[in-house]
Amino acid sequence: MMGLKIMKYGGKEMVEHDGDQSFIPPINFANVEDRVYRSGFPQPGNFAFLETLQLRSVIYLCTEPYPRENLEFLKSRNIRLFQFGIDGTKEPSVDILRSTITEALKVLIDVRIHPVLIHCKRGKHRTGCLVGTLRKVQNWCLSSVLEEYKIHAGVKSRDTDLKFLETYDVSYLRQCLHSVIYQYHGYGSKKRRLLSGEKTFCTNPE
């Protein structure tokens, strides 16, 4: 290997290989944020590229089981898989999107799982919905959220998804986050603990 490391991009080393290796990102690949990526379904031909991202996790948004080769790749690189299945054979209802995407979003915003790749099949609809809700948490204005969705969905843009993004209310997620903060830092003089999934608190006797 005549490779020569010439610089670092973020966490990744950019390696000059004198043309001996060409990287193939998955279809519809993009950086979302530093250490957060999105794409369509990765094929084995994309694994060399994915290695350069030094992923810690994958968030997978389809109902189908993860293919064996992909599972083996994740396992060999110690990458954790989070699956939140949304049926892609028909347009999901806003209600289904809301509940499943919220669960995925709770995982996505935890920086301890980054670097993370979000993907579904084509990286357009399910992935676009999850990224769009992240943008709402980041206080992006709605028109920018929808523009980004459309850039990646192209002519396949779906009205259900746009409606979902328009109406998605981040206050529930914020409530969860506040609860997590209380859990770790205490609240006032009394430490509290969030009972996951029950939306009730119990006072931690410390």
Q: Which residue has the tokens 């299945």?
A: 85
Q: Which of 64, 72, 147, 166 binds its own copies (CB under 8 A)?
A: 147
| Interface with its own copies in residues 72-101 (CB under 8 A) | none
Give ∠ CA 5-41-151 in degrees, rounded to 5. 85
Q: Which of 31, 99, 196, 204 binds its own copies (CB under 8 A)?
A: 31
Per rule CB under 8 A, is residue 184 in the interface with its own copies? no
> Residue 104: what are its φ and ψ, rounded to 5°?
-65, -40
Q: From the candidates 120, 129, 141, 202, which is the catalytic residue?
A: 120
Instruction: Reply yes or no on whether 120 is catalytic.
Output: yes
Rounded alpha-carbon distances, angstroms, from residue 29 to 43, 140, 191, 192: 12, 21, 43, 41
- CA pair distance 101, 85, nearest whole angstrom: 9
Q: Which of 44, 65, 67, 154 binds its own copies (CB under 8 A)?
A: 154
Output 59 or 92, the one with its CB closest to its own copies: 59
Least distance in angstroms from the C-beta of 16 to its own copies: 6
Q: Which of 1, 2, 6, 159 binds its own copies (CB under 8 A)?
A: 6
Output 92 or 123, the one with its CB closest to its own copies: 123
> Residue 45: what are its φ and ψ, rounded to 5°?
-65, -15
Of 135, 131, 128, 130, which is closest to residue 154 (Cα–Cα)? 128
Per rule CB under 8 A, is residue 67 in the interface with its own copies? no
Per rule CB under 8 A, is residue 30 in the interface with its own copies? yes
The length of the chain is 206
Q: Which of 74, 152, 164, 182 binds its own copies (CB under 8 A)?
A: 152
Q: Which of 1, 2, 8, 90 binds its own copies (CB under 8 A)?
A: 8
Give ∠ CA 112-172-58 in degrees, rounded to 5. 30
Residue 87's contacts (CB-CB under 8 Å, 6 or more residues apart) are 63, 96
Q: What is the CA radius of gyration of the chain?
A: 19
Least distance in angstroms from the C-beta of 165 to its own copies: 14
Q: Which residues bind its own copies (CB under 8 A)?
A: 6-12, 14-17, 19, 21-25, 27-36, 49, 109, 111, 137-141, 143-144, 147-148, 151-152, 154, 174, 177, 181
Residues tagged active-site: 120
